[in-house]
Structures are given as C-alpha cells and as structure tokens.
Amino acid sequence: MRKDHRPYFVKKLQNQYVKWYTDRYLRPQFRHLGKSPALIRPWHVQVFGYSVEVGDYATIIAEPHSNVHFVSWAQADLEDLAAIMDGSDKRVDAKAKEEARALGQGLIKLGDYVLVCPGVRIQAATRITIGNGVMFAQGAYVTDADWHGIYDRCMPVGSTAPVAIGDNAWIGDHAIVCKGVTIGENSIIGAGSVVRRDVPANSIAAGNPCQVVKELDPERVVKGREAMFANHEELQKMLSAADKDAHDQNTLWGWLRYLLFPRYGD
C-alpha cells in the first residue's frame, strides 16, 4: 500500500470503533488503564492475570502477527498445583481462592506516556515497574522470572526477582530484559540485546551480554514523550487536522475499488 485510500468519514468511524472496543472489552481486563489511551488494533492486545496497570496517555500498537502480551502470573495457582501434585490439596471456597489470587499476582505497572510496539511481551511473577515515557520497540521482552527451575523442570516459576525500568528509557527491537535488572532513566538498550545486569541512568548499552557502550551528554536535555501530551486537546486537534488533510480527497468508491480491484500504483 502506497497510500491510505480510506475516506475521512471511514477513518473517523474506525477510530470511534477502536475507542468503543477499548473501553468495552479491553479496559476491564486491566487492573487500571489510565485516561486517553491510544490503541491500534486493540483486539490483538492480550492481558492475562489480575495485576496489570497502565498509566495515562499510553500508546499501544498491535498487529495480527505480532500481538502484545501482558502476563501477570498467579502464585496462588502455583500453590494449588503444588498441593495437588504432592497430595495435600485442601479445597477452599471460591471467595478465598479469589482473594489469594489477588494477593499472589505478579505485578506489571507501567507509567504515563508509555509506547508499546507490536510483539512486545511483558511477563511478571513478582513485580515489573516501568516508568513514565518508556518506549518499547517491536518484539521487546521483559521478564522477572526464569519460569522453570534449573533442576526441577516440572514446576514454574523458578527463580524470580523484580525488574525496574526508569523514566524515558528506550528498549530496542527484540531486546530481552531479564529478572532482577534495573535500567536507569533515559537509558537506551540496543536492538537484540540481552540485559542481565543493571544499566545506569543516561547511558546507551548493547550486546549479549548487554554492556554500556556510551554515556549521554550531560549538557543536553532529554525530551521525553510527556512533551507530546503537554496540551492533549491541541495534540488531538492537530492529529485530526492531519487526518482530514490526508484523507479528505479520498472517496468511498475509490476506497472500495482499491479493496476489490487493486492496481499498480495503489
């Protein structure tokens, strides 16, 4: 596709549907989803567990072949499984189990203004804390657990330790952030890196294992994503005007022709 052939009214209707779908079907899956989230293809965002929180003005982009996954693992379920396996299972009522699950969940907490690109997976057995304005490039993976024991392969979660990512950090394409890691504010993790140790603030790190390769210039100010949302109403007006300019000359019949009978140059 060389251009978007949708007429402006179709684009507006689709945007309204996305907002309705997000509020009706996706928002209830989060423990908290802040105000004015911008989601692209929210039906490809998968939320598992009870304790996933996202702040205000989040941008989450998903694709059919690259779903976004948030997984908050239930430690209470693991205890139930262990009890059944060793024969000591004791049945409790549904309310007690629900309370146990709420207390035993791994927590995923994302701040305001975050950007989550297609294929990102964030999986917590203990706690993953992500600051404001953090950006995740396509396919990035963050986990706070091994998910199986080194010697006991039958029982998850294995070893686990909290992960913290500071404000305005940028996690590169298909980078992996492992358990127990702290990444400082403003730091950048290079594409394909495997982060096993802490990365200090205001640095650029890359490789497997990930190592600091450069420090940011202390004389320069890092402009984070919060600057985009300083005046949210003006931003929305600007985006709407840009959409109108880009789609206003498109026609319904031209769009249908493109869908049914595409031709060279479309």
**CA distance between the termini of the chain:** 6
Q: Return d(Cα 202, Cα 114) in angstroms, integer.
A: 18
> Residue by residue, what is the 3-state secondary structure of 248-265?
CCCCHHHHHHHHHCCCCC
- Tell me phi and psi for residue 110, to 5 degrees: -105, 140
Asked if 148 is an active-site residue, the reply is: yes
Catalytic residue among 65, 69, 148, 247: 148
Residues designated as active site: 148
